[in-house]
Amino acid sequence: MSAEVGTTAEAPAGPEPERSELSLGAILRRLGRGEFGPLRVIVAIAVIWTIFQLSNDRFLSAINLTNLTLQIAAVATISIGVVLVLLLGEIDLSIGSVSGLAAGVMAVLTVKEGVDPWLAIAAGLGVGVLIGLFNGFFVTAFGIPSFVVTLAGLIGWQGALLLVLGNTGTVPLPPSIITDLTGTFFDPVVGWVLAVAVVAGYAASVVVGRARRLRAGLAAPPLVQAAIAPVLIAAATFVAVAILNSDRGVPLALVIVVALMAIFSFITERTRYGRHIFAVGGNAEAARRAGIRVKRVRVTVFTLASTFAAFGGILAASRLLAVNQQSGTGDVLLFAIAGPVIAGTSLFGGRGFVWSALLGAIVIGSISNGMDLLGLDSDIKFMITGAVLLAAVTIDAATRLRRQAA
C-alpha cells in the first residue's frame, strides 16, 4: 500500500492516477498481493453456487438457502474466534470439543437439573471463558506452542463432554429460548428494516472512514471507487432478504451472527486493542518493545476464541434440538478453521478480517450443502473439502511471497 500512496503523490493532478488504479493490470497485481480478498471470495461463491444450481435446481431455492443460513450459523460464530487466533499467528484445535462441552453443560443443566435456560446458556458460555483462560495461561506462562496446548484440549474436553453427559447418550432440548435461537424467523417487514439498517450502517462507516483519512492528510480512494462496496453490499443484502422472506423470513441466528461480526470487525479495525492484535501477530517482539502487553493480548484472544466456540456449540444444539456424545466432533473443527483461511485470513498471522469468518463459512457450507443435495458419499465430500483447503493455503502462501517481494 505504501508504494501505491507514493506513486499517487508523485503523479500530477488529474484523472490519470485514478484510471491506473482501476486498470485491469493494476487490479490483477493487487489481487496477486492479496488485496480485494472479499471480492475474490465472492466470485468463488458465485462460481460454486452456479455449479451446484446447474447440477441440482433445488440448490438456490428459498428453502435450501434458508437451511444453508441455519447450517453455517454455528460454524461462522466459532470462526470469529478462529480469525482472532489466526491474526496472532496461533492456532486453536480445541474449538470443536469446547463447543460440544459447552452445549453439553447447557443441556444437562436445563433438562436434568431444571436450571433456567438463560442461566444454562450463561453457564455454557462460562465454560468457554474458563477454557480460553486455561489455554492462554499455558501458552503464555510456559511458552508451550498453542498447537500442543489446544491439541491436548481437543482430546481432554471431548472426554469432559462424555463425563458431563454420563450414561445419557442424547439430551433432547425442549422448546425454550435455547431452541428459539435458531427457530425464530422475523416478519418480512422486520427483515426489510434490518436490511436497510445494515446497508445504512455500512455506508456510513465507509463515508466516515474516508472523511477521517482525508482530514488526516492520508490518501483516500475516489468517491466513485469508495461507493462500489456499499452498492454491492446493498444489492447482496436486499436480494438475500427477499429470498429469505419468500420462505420463513430472516432467521434470528443470522442476525446474531452478523451483529457479532460487525462488533468484532469494528474492534479489530478501529480500536487500540484490535491494532495490538495485528501488531502481535505481525511481530511479537517488536510489539513488546513498543509497549504492548503481548501476554495479555494472547490470553484475551484465546479466551474470546473459546467463548465463541461455546456460543457456536449452543447454536448448533439449538438447530439440532439435542446434544449428544458426538457434539462438536466430525467436521466442526475442519470447517471452522478452513473457512477463514479460504476467505483470506493468513495462517502466518497479522493479516485477515473478521468477515472472512462469514464468507468462509458460506464457501464451506455451500460445498457441503451442495454435495449433500447431489448425494455424494462422505469420503468424496471430505476429499473435496480438503482439496479446497489446501488450495486456499497455497494461495495464501503464494500471496505472502508476492507481498514480500513487492
Burial annotation 264-296 (CB, 10 A radius, 16+ → b, else e)? bbebbeeeeebebbbbbbbebeebeeeebebbe
Give the residue with greater pLDDT, 405 vs 278.
Answer: 278
Beta-bridge partners for 172? 322
Report whether pLDDT(181) > 60.
yes
Query: What are the structural domains of the chain?
Result: 1-32 (no CATH), 33-184+251-405 (1.10.3470)
Report whether pLDDT(17) > 50.
no
**CA dihedral sign, ordered 17, 18, 24, 27:** positive
Q: What is the CA radius of gyration of the chain?
A: 22
Mean pLDDT computed over 126-152: 95
Three cell numbers written together for 235: 444489492
Sequence-separated (6 or more) residues with CB below 8 Å from residue 369: 52, 59, 64, 67, 68, 71
Report whether pLDDT(299) > 60.
yes
pLDDT of residue 36: 55
